[in-house]
Every structure is written in C-alpha cells, then in structure tokens.
C-alpha cells in the first residue's frame, strides 16, 4: 500500500532525491520541518554542499520508496 505524506527531502535537481523526514513530522511548520531535515542529514552524513532541501509530497510503499 502506498502512503503519501508531506516531507522534507534533499534533491540534486536532476532526479536524485533522499527523504529526510518521516510521516510523524508531516504536521510540523515549514521551519520545523526544515530543521528536522537538516538534523537528519547531519546524522546520516548527507552532503548538503550541493543540491537543496525541498518540502513536498513523498510517497512510500510499492511504486514509491
């Protein structure tokens, strides 16, 4: 089953994307969601010197990630 939720994710602008927040973060304000994404990126070792963090819909499950 697919689930879509509001998330923050890193993108290189050319198709590569890494989700940085989970469904339980979906109701955070934009600023709080971006702060959580930044913290998760640092914990996971995601290089943020290229690309950018965006907020949008993220789909998980079959056909999603």
Which sequence spans correspond to the domains of the chain?
A: 3-58
* Integer angstrom CA distances of residue 24 from 10, 28, 49, 59: 18, 9, 27, 14
When pLDDT is averaged across residues 35-55 and rounded to a whole number, the result is: 94
Which pLDDT value is given to residue 65?
Answer: 57
Provide the pLDDT confidence category of residue 32 given band limits of 50, 70 and 90.
very high
Q: What is the pLDDT of residue 64?
A: 58
What pLDDT is recorded for position 62? 74
Q: Which pLDDT score, from 0 to 100, does residue 58 have?
A: 96
Q: Which of 17, 13, 59 is nearest to 37 (CA)?
A: 17
């Amino acid at each position: 089953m697919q689930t879509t939720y509001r998330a923050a994710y890193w993108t290189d602008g050319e198709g590569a994307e890494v989700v940085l927040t989970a469904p339980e973060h979906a109701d955070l304000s934009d600023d709080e969601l971006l702060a959580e994404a930044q913290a998760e990126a640092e914990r996971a070792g995601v290089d943020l010197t290229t690309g950018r963090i965006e907020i949008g819909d993220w789909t998980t499950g079959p056909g999603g990630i």
